[in-house]
Amino acid sequence: MVALRGLRGLLVLALLAPAGGLHGCGLASFVRLSINDPIKPEDVTFIEPGRTTLREVVTRLGAPDEMEPLGDDVVARYHFRDARYARVNLGYPSGFFLPVPIDLVVAGGGLGADVFQVVFDAEWRAVGHAFAHHARSSRYRPWPFSE
């Protein structure tokens, strides 16, 4: 009964480790890397097709990551990337009572990319703008068969 209670306590400790500050002990690690600040729909409400200039867009959003000709127009693209990785070693507590610790690792992650693009005409006025979201791919996936 005491051993079962101790095992239950270790399981609770393993589940609460990220919130309980055991991040550096080898039990769990969560990593997130973001490149560039995300641009949200409310950040681009100032863009009016036919009126907003490239200078106004650059003043509000910064320099685009990429500019590419598209016929007589030019497309300016802003990229945002988000990578996440999580790893939990459920066998880590076995090192406290076994001579050789057991590794039972559950890990997963993903990389997502969002793109905001603005199309400008030959007079450098915005023709249109759109988001291309792929952020769902950057969520933590501890189970490899989930959607």
Work out the angle at residue 73's Cα, subtended by the Cα atoms of residues 72 and 78, and round it to the nearest 5 degrees.
Answer: 155
Helix (H, G, I), strand (E, B) or coil at 34: strand
pLDDT values of the chain reduced to their tens digit, one per residue, 147 residues: 444 444 455 444 444 444 444 444 567 777 777 788 888 889 999 999 999 999 999 999 999 999 999 999 999 999 888 787 778 888 888 888 888 888 877 777 777 778 899 999 999 999 999 988 665 555 555 555 555
Query: Do strands 66-70 and 73-89 pair parallel, antiparallel, or not at all (unpaired)?
Result: antiparallel
d(CA 47, CA 50): 9
Does residue 144 sit within a domain? no
How many residues make up the chain in this entry? 147
Closest of 32, 51, 39, 30 to residue 106, by C-alpha:
30
Helix (H, G, I), strand (E, B) or coil at 59: helix
Does residue 147 sit within a domain? no
What pLDDT is attached to residue 121?
A: 95
- Per the structure, the count of domains in the chain is 1
Instruction: Extract the tokens encoding 73.
Output: 């127009």
What pLDDT is attached to residue 95?
A: 80
Instruction: Extract the tokens encoding 50.
Output: 């036919």
End-to-end CA distance of the chain: 40
Domain that holds residue 44: 2-138
Does residue 145 sit within a domain? no
Does residue 12 sit within a domain? yes
What pLDDT is attached to residue 55?
A: 96
d(CA 46, CA 32): 31
Which residues does 34 contact at the CB level (< 8 Å), separation at least 6? Answer: 80, 81, 82, 83
- In this structure, which amino acid lies at residue 101? P
